Structure 1
């Protein structure tokens, strides 16, 4: 059937020739609008993302698909021996008041290696065709272009050498025919390669599975109407297309069966096919149809579309057993009835699917937007400015953190427990002086003070190492005395006790520094992750994070002289050196200008040491004096003594002063030594527990952020001659992220265009 034969329809056409398929003028305007909308949605390529209604024509090789499509579309498809269709051919028919034309496009959904593309690529193949007789040749050339992806498609527009071997035997890429004209249908369908039963001379086993997978990719979609062609000249059970359609539409709800070539049924076997027409065998919801297309000889003679339909009508009206079918089943015979049914099925499906498509489209847009938001921020065209801005924000937040933020897990709050531990460690080095002799063996220990830090313990070993009894101090003083008068001892005694605790302050101080470093390092890691995670391929984050590799014992790994790593290491080293110096200042000997504080503590300790000894050696007399105001056997006597002393002129004497009548304590010089040392410990303890944390805060905590931004600029080299290149390398996305971003952006573009098309129709 020649292409221009369709133009020779009678001036006054019969009803079946007034329109092809959905171009029937009687179709409601609203329904036609919906059909136009689906065609426009197909043009956007959104069928990759949304299940759009479509008719897919499938069948085995030589099942009569091409003739059937010619009857529906009014165009002539290429014909040759063997398999003609080697790639999908999409027909988008649209009715137009403009003259007939056909636009041929190549649609690429895979690259030349067969790998899926992020977004389908469309290429116009030549100028629009205005003469129907040229369509068959243009389609043949387009198919060669699809099957030879390594060659420019334009070369096939003028190349007439069809004997050259194709690169591919089949392809998922397809030809799109956009045909419009006054007599055209508003219909979309796709002609798929015929399923291969056996491999030909030029094929291979892979072709069988490739064609099957290609057909499956279409018919597996719920909104695909499967137009299943079955040739009556071949045994029904041997036609694989039927089995494949049944696999994906087991209940037969969206399959339309078409029996072709009924004129080639061997005599006497026609009855074998009638159960299908009656829907008694392999029942389908939309039934089985039977059509008869022109023979090869009739095609060569240029039979018209109307003549072909008339011949078909004569065949089914006059040929038994077809003519014997009831009127109920006669409507499942003839191409016109099939076209009407397809029109109705597709229209109803579109009417049902459009509201669902709108919902699915919005969901897909939201899901795609969410996926894009989860990707790392897209690199800026100004990589230097972007990196510089990120560093500035990073340093700004670091400064805020080291200054202190009001939250429980802030840096300063996290450091505080280590500071308290340091304070306790220093306090626990206090000398444990006992004003009693070692032979007294007083147990259990008694606290003479309520305040822990002012406590003087009497008893055995403390965390200092041991309890130092007054007789031991006395012996040390006596042993050290050289030219000093009796009762006097050299200052070296106090100095030896003072050095015994000050030399133990280095380790707790350095332990505090290590603890602060570890805490600061963790906060810096989290901050680097927050600001640089996912940027580019992670190079900038890695350069920043390489700073944090503690080796222990106050040492850190240096792998590169860059960034926070070197800054943190230098600040830590400077802090450790400063701590050593501050502690060393305490070791040579005592020094303080806080004389009042020292004197006050010495008096307090001396008084309490004396009271402890008096309680032990003169407990009855001391107790009597302390309780003279209470009712006791000696209360009146003590009052009388104080009265007599007042008469003698000693009016200011109090009961407690009577203890001075006791004999002089031979341990008094030792008590003075103990009070001197213990008082100085309080002075030095409070000084060192302030100055060491202050030094760590200044040199390490605040120090790591001080002047950091220029260090980062110089360390990264972004301010140098290679700054642009370096920043571009930092900003460059990984191939996986870039590919994902491109795919999502392409998808979003398709969805947005489809959304704009969809809002133009009232659903």
Structure 2
């Protein structure tokens, strides 16, 4: 075996040492470590290439073609020849990633190269029968020409061969399963697809040098391996071609292939190499060794047309030249990617540690009760802070503010509207009254109008409109605002229809009281709807905060149990708050009263003056010429009105009716101000505040944390969701691999190569 290259640098050996150890950490899914992957369709001579480079025979019998990747690591070492076979198992029987991959040492080290072939066969059967003990296949043999029956037909699990010897080169290669063009059934079709996906995945990585095997017995462009290499490396920057079976090609056809070797056809950056491997007859010859095969190869390339090639092209003939070139290319690839590899390992290690830090900690059963208590404390504190608006104001504080604004707006729209005219006067003068929100509000003063404008224009920051969408689903937003419209005729009709006896020119308090109660009769509906919307907001907030704290326990009873307890607490406190609001509503409905006399009297005076001013604008007091047409008409109309008034016993002056309307509106304004404040304060103090204060005690009492809960039950409540458990296991495995890789990088940087 003369493939050794004594000129390889010590630094190159160190680079190879680091790359092999990084690969052994199984970090290929996270980091693109430099590799050489051999690809090609079946029967292109992939196994022969490996045999020429490694000096060992690979399985060739029926049913033993490569059905899983085989990684061959060659080490030029001072000790005697040895081969250690291991299985890297990271996929299950369904070819899905395992939660905990493993590396299985497959039997003792081999000291004879002719023993390796059977060990490889056994290793492949072990991988293709994942439900059986892998070591049970060691020593078992399959008769020649007998295809073994396996549980699966293909696997991504890898057979690893670590071969050490004095006459070996330093090289690592991965033999990928041969790409199959035709199949014999549905199961084979599935295996073919899996093999193609595996090949594409491996050779698409920038750190992979593609060793493309091409049989010279078939047309170049018809070979599947060529198509795969072109797709993965369209600029041919990391592909090296190996031409096999030149001794089978007709002499006349060799001239076309020599053009390929010379780079005149289908050029590649790294060019092509030609290997001549033993024929079937030579392999069957007893005593035919690897050295015999290499000597025959050397003798073959002394013949034509190879002998006539220029000196540079001759350096591409034979397995020794290929091995030396692959060794150099791998060393350069490792060296070029080393800084990026080290940086990626460090970056991924930091990110992995960060993700693990933010995952909920695993809770042992002995500490389950204490951990449950701490969890409930954090949850309760977050609920309290959210309800106060200290945390996440967009969740509760801003929607509540918007509800309060809408509550005030809706009540304000229910204010009494008054027109200081009779219906006849409106008809005579063409004064139009619009029913609803468009009725002219003569009783608006600057103070209340300013309050309404501020409330109407106040909009909390909500760029995506989620708050407004939520508010529009509530009872306050959907409720219809009742209207209380008054004019002189309406007031007069109320007085005429009243059965209470009164002195001429006087209005009894009972009549005014009835009209004032009618003005405020809908206030309870507003408070009731505000309470319903606030309870709904509280429940959605509690659910959100609970899910944020307990989402990692979503497949246990904990999240649902905590949510149920808090929703029950909200319902209980909501019932208590409702009783207090009922009392306030009853006070407004049953008793017309205010100690705010100064404010009330000022408003009555203000409204009287403003209303009379409006009436004067529409009906001037100056009398027209009685001899004019207009004067005659007004005189007739006045007589008719007097006659009609006498019939209806109208003994209340216009100024008295305006006084009544002003008192009704002034009282409504007094009620409006105190009612909106009281309702909002009651909801805040008797509903929202108790939820935050009682949250922790209620949770601990209901869940038995203060009493009889057992560690086992608490531990069951804290059982993690599957996705969290799987994520932790994946991160821990990644951390373990990256930590191991980091340790090797540190050894490399410190020059510590004790096992090189």
Does TM, normalized by the shorter one, top 0.5?
Answer: yes
Give the counterpart of 1:754 among 733, 741, 756.
741
* Mapped partners of 2:300, 2:587: distance in 1: 119
Q: What is the SS of the residue equivalent to 1:56?
A: strand
* Mapped partners of 2:697, 2:26: distance in 1: 51
Q: Determine the structure 2 residue equivalent to 1:66.
A: 47
Q: Tell me how far 1:695 sits from its aligned partner.
A: 3.2
Give the counterpart of 1:143 among 113, 124, 131.
124
Residue by residue, what CA displacement relative to the aligned partner does 1:377-432 show, whole Å, maximum 9, x if unpaired? 46644565555434333333443455565979547644542564477468x359x7
Residue by residue, what CA displacement relative to the aligned partner does 1:543-562 show, whole Å, maximum 9, x if unpaired? 4897xxxxxxxxxxxxxxx3
Contact 2:179 2:192 in 1 (8 A): yes
Q: Tell me how far 1:206 sits from its aligned partner.
A: 4.2
Q: Determine the structure 2 residue equivalent to 1:532.
A: 547
Matched ranges for 1:149-548 at <5 A: 149-160=130-141, 164-196=148-180, 198-199=182-183, 204-233=188-217, 236=220, 239-266=223-250, 268-295=252-279, 300-317=285-302, 319-362=303-346, 364-365=348-349, 377=360, 380-381=363-364, 385-402=370-387, 409-410=397-398, 413-418=401-406, 420-421=408-409, 424=412, 428=415, 464-467=484-487, 480-481=500-501, 493-502=508-517, 504-519=519-534, 521-522=536-537, 525-526=540-541, 528-533=543-548, 534-537=551-554, 543=560
Contact 2:38 2:46 in 1 (8 A): yes
Q: What is the SS of the residue equivalent to 2:692?
A: coil
Q: What is the SS of the residue equivalent to 1:229?
A: strand
- Runs of at least 5 residues in structure 1 that lack an aligned partner in the other structure: 1-5, 7-16, 455-461, 547-561, 618-664
Q: What is the SS of the residue equivalent to 1:46?
A: coil
Residue by residue, what CA displacement relative to the aligned partner does 1:331-373 show, whole Å, maximum 9, x if unpaired? 1222211211112222222222222333444555566677778
* Mapped partners of 2:603, 2:218: distance in 1: 119
Give the counterpart of 1:568 among 567, 570, 594.
570
* Mapped partners of 1:603, 1:67: distance in 2: 109
Residue by residue, what CA displacement relative to the aligned partner does 1:624-673 show, whole Å, maximum 9, x if unpaired? xxxxxxxxxxxxxxxxxxxxxxxxxxxxxxxxxxxxxxxxx999999999
* Residue 470 to residue 263, structure 1, CA distance change in 2 (3 Å): closer
Q: What is the SS of the residue equivalent to 1:535?
A: helix
Q: What is the SS of the residue equivalent to 1:702?
A: helix
* Mapped partners of 1:685, 1:282: distance in 2: 91
Farther-moved stretch of structure 1 (471-480 vs 54-63): 471-480
* Mapped partners of 1:567, 1:174: distance in 2: 58
Q: What is the SS of the residue equivalent to 2:13?
A: helix
Tell which structure's C-alpha radius of gyration is larger: 1
Q: What is the SS of the residue equivalent to 2:163?
A: strand
Q: Determine the structure 2 residue equivalent to 1:638.
A: none
User: What TM-score comes out, normalization by structure 1 length?
Assistant: 0.72
Give the counterpart of 1:710 among 683, 689, 697.
697
* Residue 142 to residue 202, structure 1, CA distance change in 2 (3 Å): farther
* Residue 150 to residue 720, structure 1, CA distance change in 2 (3 Å): farther
Q: Determine the structure 1 residue equivalent to 2:25.
A: 44
Q: Does 1:701 align with 2:693?
A: no
Contact 2:275 2:319 in 1 (8 A): yes
Q: Determine the structure 2 residue equivalent to 1:579.
A: 581
Contact 1:499 1:587 in 2 (8 A): no
What RMSD, in angstroms, separates the aligned Cα atoms of the two structures? 4.9
Contact 1:292 1:312 in 2 (8 A): yes
Q: What is the SS of the residue equivalent to 1:123?
A: strand
* Residue 367 to residue 143, structure 1, CA distance change in 2 (3 Å): same
* Residue 355 to residue 498, structure 1, CA distance change in 2 (3 Å): same
Give the counterpart of 1:55 among 21, 36, 48.
36
* Residue 202 to residue 183, structure 1, CA distance change in 2 (3 Å): farther
Contact 2:542 2:566 in 1 (8 A): no
* Residue 524 to residue 272, structure 1, CA distance change in 2 (3 Å): same
Q: Tell me how far 1:92 sits from its aligned partner.
A: 1.4
* Mapped partners of 1:568, 1:277: distance in 2: 83
* Residue 182 to residue 467, structure 1, CA distance change in 2 (3 Å): same
Q: Tell me how far 1:514 sits from its aligned partner.
A: 1.9
Residue by residue, what CA displacement relative to the aligned partner does 1:727-756 show, whole Å, maximum 9, x if unpaired? 656654544554455444433443343334
Contact 2:363 2:715 in 1 (8 A): no
Contact 1:55 1:190 in 2 (8 A): yes
* Mapped partners of 1:498, 1:103: distance in 2: 104
* Mapped partners of 1:683, 1:211: distance in 2: 84
Q: Tell me how far 1:111 sits from its aligned partner.
A: 0.9
* Residue 293 to residue 201, structure 1, CA distance change in 2 (3 Å): farther
Residue by residue, what CA displacement relative to the aligned partner does 1:507-529 show, whole Å, maximum 9, x if unpaired? 32331342254245336524542
Residue by residue, what CA displacement relative to the aligned partner does 1:415-461 show, whole Å, maximum 9, x if unpaired? 542564477468x359x798x9999999999979977679xxxxxxx
* Mapped partners of 2:711, 2:730: distance in 1: 28
Contact 1:56 1:190 in 2 (8 A): yes
Q: Tell me how far 1:580 sits from its aligned partner.
A: 2.7
* Mapped partners of 1:611, 1:198: distance in 2: 99
Contact 1:86 1:193 in 2 (8 A): yes
User: What TM-score comes out, normalization by structure 2 length?
Assistant: 0.72
* Residue 705 to residue 329, structure 1, CA distance change in 2 (3 Å): closer
Q: What is the SS of the residue equivalent to 2:485?
A: coil
Q: What is the SS of the residue equivalent to 1:710?
A: helix
* Residue 324 to residue 34, structure 1, CA distance change in 2 (3 Å): same
Q: Tell me how far 1:84 sits from its aligned partner.
A: 3.5
* Residue 280 to residue 479, structure 1, CA distance change in 2 (3 Å): closer
Residue by residue, what CA displacement relative to the aligned partner does 1:142-183 show, whole Å, maximum 9, x if unpaired? 111112112111211243455652223333222101223444
Q: Determine the structure 2 residue equivalent to 1:112.
A: 93
* Mapped partners of 1:190, 1:666: distance in 2: 110
Farther-moved stretch of structure 1 (251-260 vs 234-243): 234-243
Contact 1:422 1:508 in 2 (8 A): no
| Count of residue pairs the alignment pairs up | 664
Q: Determine the structure 2 residue equivalent to 1:629.
A: none
* Mapped partners of 1:675, 1:340: distance in 2: 108
* Mapped partners of 1:738, 1:143: distance in 2: 32
Q: Tell me how far 1:105 sits from its aligned partner.
A: 0.9
Q: What is the SS of the residue equivalent to 1:228?
A: strand
Q: Tell me how far 1:686 sits from its aligned partner.
A: 6.2
* Mapped partners of 2:658, 2:313: distance in 1: 127
